[in-house]
Amino acid sequence: MAHHTAPARADDAPGTARCRLSRMAPLLSLAGLVLIAVGLVGLLLPAVPGSPLIVLGIAAIAWADGFARIGAGTLLVVALLGLLSWATDAVAGVLGARTMGASRWGVIGGVVGLLAGLPFGLPGLIAGPAIGAAALEYYKDPDARRAAKAGLGIFIGFVVGTAAKFAIAVTMLGIAAWAYFAN
């Protein structure tokens, strides 16, 4: 004779949203961890949106337990930090170039150099913008010293921007980990 017991809670019954979520939780957690890992790599690679992937990864982990540990307030803070990281990425190279006296041509050269450097991997991503900025700055005004300063400014902006993005990402992950393990 088969013995059937009722679920502990009515919403734990097969077919309910809570039951489906409990079966999806390990997959959501794994997807969240993968998104975070790819996001961390993406902080270095301009073709990969690092900060948004980290935010999505944290949201997936929060969703895995029904937002019981990482709630809406924590997700809002993490999302705002993600936006700050994205803005830092967008502005750092330009500010670095402008601080070192680059013209609009130098900034455009940095973008062209970034695109040209993509096929060369990380070295191309680091050196490409600096070389592009220096080349177009020199094309606009054949002053080697000014062109070199423009290239150096882009490079410094890249390094400072990358360091800031990593610091913001560590903060995002720290806030999420604190919320997850403190609850």
Tell if the pTM clears 0.85, that is, is over it: no
Q: How confident is the model at residue 13 (pLDDT cuts 50, 70, 90)?
A: low
**Alpha carbon distances (Å) from 140 to 9, 79, 104, 136, 146:** 72, 40, 10, 6, 11
Domain boundaries, the chain: 16-182
Q: pLDDT tens, 144-178?
A: 999 999 999 999 998 899 999 999 999 999 999 99
pLDDT digits (tens, 9 = 90+) for 40-84: 999 987 778 999 999 999 999 999 999 999 999 999 999 999 999
Nearest to 93 by CA among 83, 102, 84: 102
Cα–Cα dist 171/131, whole Å: 32
Instruction: Enumerate helices (H) and strands (E) in the chain, giving the number of each.
Output: 6, 0
Query: Sorting pLDDT into bands at 50, 70 and 90, what band is 8?
Result: low
